[in-house]
Amino acid sequence: MILNKGGKLSTAYFLSYLELVASFRQCSAAEVYDIVFERLFDRDKAKLGPASFQAFETAYEQFSKKPESL
């Protein structure tokens, strides 16, 4: 996936992406985190900028609290 590195990606964007991966892969919340972090950030917190990484972390926190993601 090609992403624009110049803009901040929203929490809603990451939450939707986490839910999509969880639905498709049928895996744990921790596994979803690893998959998305690898695919979007290439395991580099700085790749999309600090604001986008913070939005990702916030989205994951919200995602992991949902009963269906456990």
Domain-embedded: residue 25: yes
Give the model confidence (pLDDT) of 35-57 as tens digits.
999 999 999 999 999 999 999 99
HSE at residue 22, side-chain half, CA atoms within 13 A, is: 19
Using pLDDT thresholds of 50, 70 and 90, give the confidence band for residue 64: very high
Radius of gyration from C-alpha coordinates of the chain? 11
Q: Which structure tokens are listed for 19?
A: 């839910």
Domain-embedded: residue 37: yes
Domain-embedded: residue 6: no
Cβ neighbours, 10 Å, residue 43:
10
Q: Which residue has the tokens 């913070």?
A: 54
Domain-embedded: residue 4: no
In a 3-state reduction of DSSP, which class is residue 31?
helix
Give the model confidence (pLDDT) of 13-25 as tens digits.
999 999 999 999 9
Domain-embedded: residue 57: yes
HSE at residue 45, side-chain half, CA atoms within 13 A, is: 6
Count how many domains the chain has: 1
